[in-house]
Amino acid sequence: MPAAYEQYLVPVVFRPFAEDLTARAAALRPGRVLELAAGTGVLTSSLLAAAPWAEVTATDLNEAMVAFGSDRAPDAVWRQADAQRLPFPDGGFDLVVCQFGVMFFPDRIEAFTEVHRVLAPGGRFLFNTWGPLGTHSFEVALQAGLERAFPADPPRFFATVPHGYSDPSVVAADLAAAGFTVEDEQELTLQGQAASTADLAIGYLTGTPVRMAVEERGGGPAVKATVVEEMTARLGPGPVTAPMTAYVFRAAA
């Protein structure tokens, strides 16, 4: 999964937002940075390049992602870590960053409370979270393909998890419950550019948890063909450009 995620999804879906988050992070001039849910290291690499003065510690719950990311961004310190039980002392960081990871935390208030604990007084928590599924054109097309392939029981992963934390008022309330003050909240729409709709479909079907959902339903090559056909009908064969919307939060401890 990490290799497919890195090859097919990172350049199209995640790098544009990593560049935005990096610029926001570097403007804060942090000395000690903790990254949560670092994945394969797209944000990590960008942070290291833009803020060479900073000490960056990158973490992920998934050991395979940590192994992949540590090869991709070796200048960071990499640790396997659960965001709800961070293995770091109180007040050890000036900035905690997280790109599209907070949606996966089982208890977000508990995770945010841990983030607050490891931040120095006045430290910042900077992160993004996807908007509703309907605001992400690539994934609208993907979901349509999955519904066509599995009309009785389509995988709902994208609607319920990546796009399941898309109410900014809920996010702000969770931050407040963890002791944060929201300093800035922005809706941000960026364009993703894919060379091939087929490659994008492969990325989603093999580089995300949808892979397991498809396998559980007995999916095979026919599923891939159906999803590619539906996505191509909606987006074109490629190159294709489509909008993706997220919310960006900056909160102070």
Interval 48-71: pLDDT, tens: 999 999 999 999 999 999 999 999
Has residue 219 got a pLDDT over 90? no
Q: How many residues does the chain have?
A: 253
Concatenating the DSSP letter of every residue in the chain gives -HHHIIIIIIIIIIHHHHHHHHHHHHHT--SEEEEES-TTSHHHHHHHHH-TTSEEEEEES-HHHHHHHHHH-TTSEEEE-BTTB--S-TT-EEEEEEES-GGG-SSHHHHHHHHHHHEEEEEEEEEEEE--GGGBHHHHHHHHHHHHH-SSS---HHHHTTTSS--HHHHHHHHHHTT-EEEEEEEEEEEEEES-HHHHHHHHHHHSTHHHHHHHTT--HHHHHHHHHHHHHHH-SSSEEEEEEEEEEEEE-
Contact (CB, 8 A) for 205 and 5? no
> Taking the domains of the chain in order of start, what are their residue ranges?
2-252
Predicted confidence at residue 194, as pLDDT, reads 95
Q: How confident is the model at residue 238 (pLDDT cuts 50, 70, 90)?
A: confident
Distance CA 253, CA 239 (A): 43
**Average pLDDT in the 165-174 region?**
98
Task: Please tell us whether the domain made up of 2-252 is placed in CATH 3.30.70.980.
Answer: no
* pLDDT score recorded for residue 43: 98
* Rounded Cα–Cα distance for residues 149 and 230 (Å): 9
What value does the mean pLDDT of the chain take? 96
Confidence of residue 124 (pLDDT cuts 50, 70, 90): very high
- Report pLDDT for 153: 94
Q: Is pLDDT at 101 greater than 80 in this prediction?
A: yes
Give the bridge partners for 57, in sequence order: 34, 77
Query: For the residues 211-217, what does the mean pLDDT come to?
Result: 93
Question: Residue 134 is encoded by which pair of tokens?
Answer: 């309907």
Specify the pTM. Answer: 0.95
**Identity (one letter) of the amino acid at 233?**
A
**Spatial separation of the C-alpha atoms in residues 40 and 2, rounded to whole Å:** 7
Amino acid at 186: Q
Structure tokens at 104: 């996966």
Q: Is the pLDDT of residue 2 over 90?
A: no
For residues 77-95, give the mean pLDDT: 97
Instruction: Read off the pLDDT of each residue in 118-128 and give the average, rounded to a whole number.
Output: 98
Q: What is the dihedral of CA 28, 104, 110, 249, to 10 degrees?
A: 30
